[in-house]
Chains A and B, each alone.
Chain A
Amino acid sequence: MSTLITLPPSKTKPEVIDSAVIRFAGDSGDGMQITGSQFTNTVALYGNDIRTFPDYPAEIRAPAGTLPGVSGFQLHFSSDDVSTPGDAVDVLIAMNPAALKVNVADLKANGILIVNSDSFTESDLRKAQMTANPLEDHSLDKFRLFSVELERLTRRALEHLGLDAKSMDRCKNFFALGMCYWLYNRSMDSTVRWIEDKFKGKPLLTEANKLAMKAGYSYCEATEAFQISYEIPRAQLSPGLYRNLSGNQALALGLVTASEKSGLRLFQGSYPITPASDILHELSQYKDFGVMTFQAEDEIAAITSAIGASYAGALAITSTSGPGMALKTEALGLAVAIELPLVICNIQRGGPSTGLPTKTEQADLLQALFGRNSEAPIPVIAAATPADCFWVALEACRIAVKYMVPVILLSDGYLANGAEPWHVPEVSEIPDFKVQFAKTAEGFLPYKRDPQTLARPWAVPGTPGLEHRIGGLEKQDVTGNINYEPLNHENMVRIRAAKVAGIAQDIPEIVPAGDPEGDLLIVAWGSTHGAITAAVRAQREKGHKIGHVHLRHLNPLAPNLGEVIARYKRVLVPELNMGQLLWVLRAKYLVDAVGLNKIQGRPFKQAELEQKIEEMLGSQENFA
Chain B
Amino acid sequence: MSTTTLPPITPLTKKDFQTDQEVRWCPGCGDYAILSAVQSVFPELGIKRENFVVVSGIGCSSRFPYYMNTFGFHTIHGRAPAVATGIKALRPDLEVWLATGDGDALSIGGNHTIHMLRRNVGIKVLLFNNRIYGLTKGQYSPTSELNKKSKSTPFGSLDRPFNPLSLAIGAEATFVARSVDVFQGHLKETLKHAAAHKGSAFVEILQNCNIFNDGAWFSLTEREARSEHVIQLEHGKPLVFGKNRDKGIRMNGLDMEIVQLGNGVTEKDLLVHDAHHLQAAYAFQLSQMEKRPGFPTPIGVLRSWEDVPRYEDVMNQQINDVIAKRGAGDLTKLLRAGDTWEVK
| A binding-site residues for B, Cβ under 8 Å | 41, 44-47, 190, 234, 237-244, 253, 256-257, 260, 265, 267, 269, 286-292, 294, 296-298, 300-301, 304-314, 316, 330-331, 333-334, 338, 424-427, 460-473, 481-482
* CB <8 Å contact, B340 and A482: no
- A259 to B262, alpha carbons, bound, how many Å? 70
* CB <8 Å contact, B322 and A472: no
- A483 to B247, alpha carbons, bound, how many Å? 54
Given contacts A243-B340, A286-B329, A297-B112, contact A257 B335 (CB under 8 A): yes
* CB <8 Å contact, A305 and B85: yes
A523 CB to nearest chain B CB (Å): 32
* CB <8 Å contact, A288 and B326: yes
Which residues of chain B from 64 to 122 have a CB within 8 Å of any chain A CB? 65-66, 68-76, 79, 81-91, 93-94, 111-112, 115
- A310 to B91, alpha carbons, bound, how many Å? 11
A492 CB to nearest chain B CB (Å): 16
Given contacts A308-B82, A464-B48, contact A288 B91 (CB under 8 A): no
- A238 to B70, alpha carbons, bound, how many Å? 56
Given contacts A290-B323, A462-B91, A463-B50, contact A47 B76 (CB under 8 A): no
Residues of chain A with a CB closer than 8 A to B93's CB: 462
Which residues of chain B from 20 to 41 have a CB within 8 Å of any chain A CB? 21
CB nearest to B322 among chain A residues: A287
A186 CB to nearest chain B CB (Å): 14
A386 CB to nearest chain B CB (Å): 14
Residues of chain A with a CB closer than 8 A to B240's CB: none
Given contacts A288-B322, A290-B319, A308-B84, contact A44 B50 (CB under 8 A): no
- A241 to B342, alpha carbons, bound, how many Å? 4
- A602 to B142, alpha carbons, bound, how many Å? 46
- A469 to B69, alpha carbons, bound, how many Å? 8
Select which of A288, A297, A470 is within 8 A of B74 by beta carbon: A470
Residues of chain B with a CB closer than 8 A to A190's CB: 339
Residues of chain B with a CB closer than 8 A to A306's CB: 86
* CB <8 Å contact, B322 and A468: no
CB nearest to B119 among chain A residues: A297
Pairs A–B under 8 Å by Cβ, sample size 25 = A45-B339, A244-B338, A253-B335, A257-B335, A267-B89, A287-B318, A289-B329, A292-B90, A292-B315, A294-B315, A301-B85, A304-B82, A304-B86, A308-B83, A309-B86, A311-B86, A312-B91, A313-B90, A313-B91, A424-B335, A461-B53, A467-B69, A469-B21, A469-B73, A471-B75
Given contacts A242-B342, A298-B111, A313-B91, contact A304 B329 (CB under 8 A): no
CB of B1 closer than 8 Å to a CB of A: no
Residues of chain A with a CB closer than 8 A to B343's CB: 47, 234, 237-242
Identify the 6 closest CB pairs spanning chains A and B, nearest first: A308-B86, A471-B74, A289-B329, A305-B86, A469-B72, A301-B82
* CB <8 Å contact, A286 and B334: yes
CB nearest to B91 among chain A residues: A312
* CB <8 Å contact, A462 and B79: no
Given contacts A243-B340, A260-B331, A312-B94, contact A464 B74 (CB under 8 A): no
* CB <8 Å contact, A472 and B91: no
- A238 to B342, alpha carbons, bound, how many Å? 10
* CB <8 Å contact, A288 and B327: yes
- A440 to B334, alpha carbons, bound, how many Å? 37
Q: Which of B73, B83, B86: most chain A Cβ within 10 A? A: B86
| B binding-site residues for A, Cβ under 8 Å | 19, 21, 48-51, 53, 55, 58, 65-66, 68-76, 79, 81-91, 93-94, 111-112, 115, 315, 318-319, 322-323, 326-329, 331-332, 334-344
Supplied contacts A305-B85, A462-B50, 11 more A-B pairs, CB within 8 Å: A46-B341, A240-B343, A287-B323, A312-B91, A312-B94, A314-B90, A425-B335, A462-B93, A468-B71, A468-B72, A471-B74
- A481 to B82, alpha carbons, bound, how many Å? 24
- A437 to B71, alpha carbons, bound, how many Å? 15
- A518 to B53, alpha carbons, bound, how many Å? 60
* CB <8 Å contact, B335 and A292: no
B121 CB to nearest chain A CB (Å): 10
- A68 to B40, alpha carbons, bound, how many Å? 65
Given contacts A304-B75, A461-B51, contact A292 B319 (CB under 8 A): yes
B335 CB to nearest chain A CB (Å): 5
Given contacts A44-B341, A241-B342, A297-B111, contact A470 B331 (CB under 8 A): no
* CB <8 Å contact, B341 and A241: yes
A329 CB to nearest chain B CB (Å): 11
Select which of A267, A296, A462, A482 is within 8 A of B94 by beta carbon: A462
- A287 to B314, alpha carbons, bound, how many Å? 13
* CB <8 Å contact, B94 and A304: no
* CB <8 Å contact, B50 and A464: yes
Select which of A41, A312, A334, A338 is within 8 A of B90 by beta carbon: A312
Given contacts A47-B343, A290-B323, A471-B65, contact A296 B91 (CB under 8 A): no
- A308 to B327, alpha carbons, bound, how many Å? 28
Residues of chain A with a CB closer than 8 A to B50's CB: 461-467
Residues of chain B with a CB closer than 8 A to A296's CB: 82, 115
- A286 to B326, alpha carbons, bound, how many Å? 10
Select which of A242, A330, A460, A482 is within 8 A of B76 by beta carbon: A330
* CB <8 Å contact, A292 and B82: no
Residues of chain A with a CB closer than 8 A to B75's CB: 304, 307, 334, 471-472
* CB <8 Å contact, A331 and B90: no
Select which of B49, B68, B79 is within 8 A of A301 by beta carbon: B79
Residues of chain B with a CB closer than 8 A to A314's CB: 86, 90
* CB <8 Å contact, A287 and B111: no
Residues of chain B with a CB closer than 8 A to A291's CB: 319
- A301 to B68, alpha carbons, bound, how many Å? 25
Residues of chain A with a CB closer than 8 A to B339's CB: 41, 44-45, 190, 243-244
Select which of A253, A301, A305 is within 8 A of B334 by beta carbon: A253
- A296 to B21, alpha carbons, bound, how many Å? 34
* CB <8 Å contact, A267 and B90: yes
Residues of chain B with a CB closer than 8 A to A466's CB: 50, 71
* CB <8 Å contact, B319 and A427: no
- A496 to B344, alpha carbons, bound, how many Å? 49
CB nearest to A309 among chain B residues: B86
- A257 to B332, alpha carbons, bound, how many Å? 9
- A239 to B343, alpha carbons, bound, how many Å? 5
- A298 to B112, alpha carbons, bound, how many Å? 9
- A238 to B111, alpha carbons, bound, how many Å? 52
- A26 to B84, alpha carbons, bound, how many Å? 47
Residues of chain A with a CB closer than 8 A to B83's CB: 304-305, 307-308, 311
B21 CB to nearest chain A CB (Å): 7
Residues of chain A with a CB closer than 8 A to B112's CB: 297, 300-301, 304
Q: Which of A260, A269, A287, A316: most chain B Cβ within 10 A? A: A287
CB nearest to B316 among chain A residues: A292
Given contacts A241-B336, A286-B334, A462-B50, contact A316 B86 (CB under 8 A): yes
CB nearest to A425 among chain B residues: B335
Q: Which of A290, A301, A308, A311: most chain B Cβ within 10 A? A: A308
Select which of A238, A311, A468 is within 8 A of B87 by beta carbon: A311
